[in-house]
Amino acid sequence: MISTETGKKYEKLQQILKDMGSVVIGFSGGVDSTFLTYAAHQALGDRVLAVTAVSATLPGSEAADAKAMAKVIGVEHRLVHSTEFEDTEFIKNPPDRCYICKKIRFTSLVELAKAEGYQWVVDGGNVDDLGDYRPGMKALQELSDFVRSPMIEAGLAKADIRALSKEFGLQTWNKQSAACLASRIPYGVELTPHRLAQIDAAEAAVAPYIQGSLRVRYHGDVARIEVAVDEIPSILAHRQEIVRAIKDTGFTYVTLDLGGYEMGSLNDVINTDEEVK
């Protein structure tokens, strides 16, 4: 059962979406965007278009997951090619990389919405995102005449979204975060499709042995595995298979971070109190 407070937030979200009239959703197939797409479909019916941006930064399984979830929800869905690799500044991988990428993607969604008569573009941000280093939020603010984050407006946190997703039978309710593959590469190290594919393949090699969150961080010849501390014994129990599989992707060395999985651990090298220019 969901709490009364969470229920009221959902009611507020429904009203916000109804007032929008029609929406294009940036749809990754993850917990947040899947829930938002479900809620929008409940509020607006066929006046919803879910769009998944496909590029080398998307983990291989995510496009298929997004397509499957859109079908379950019953919403119109499109896969579109994303053009961030045409931007030389994005390829340089600066600390505001997410700003560059999100500005490109959501500008494209705004153009699509205008061309096809949708009133708004919406993203799956929640209130927890406001307390993290999220340069992509700046891009949304700059497009605020056309782009909104209705779950933030409704006050929904990640815990609310998971609880409501479970209540509504969405299989993503307990899905682990699958952030953009570029988040595995330290700032300043050039982004290439080859490196991102290498990371994707390495994570696919480790995934069968764990249940929770997983990241393989790129450090040149070194692959650094991050999993929850309580999953480390499973990694060690299958050490030989994992090392062999990761080396087959092109890494020379394989390490296991004894500190365990940490969301956004590569952000530790920057000062998040300063505005990224």
Gap between the terminal Cα atoms of the chain: 45
User: CB-based contacts of 111: which residues, under 8 Å, 6+ apart?
Assistant: none
> Which of 16, 180, 202, 214 is an active site residue?
180
H or E element that contains 81? strand 76-81
Per the annotation, the verdict on 98 as an active-site residue is: no
Q: What is the identity of the amino acid at 145? A: D
Look at strands 253-256 and 120-122 and give their pairing. Answer: unpaired
H or E element that contains 147? strand 147-148
Q: Is the dihedral of CA 243, 244, 249, 250 positive or negative?
A: positive
Q: Exposed, middle or buried: residue 219 (CB in 10 Å: 0-12, 13-18, 19+)?
A: middle
User: CB-based contacts of 76: which residues, under 8 Å, 6+ apart?
Assistant: 46, 48, 49, 50, 70
Phi, psi (rounded to 5 degrees) for 50: -95, 130
- By annotation, the residues acting in catalysis are 180
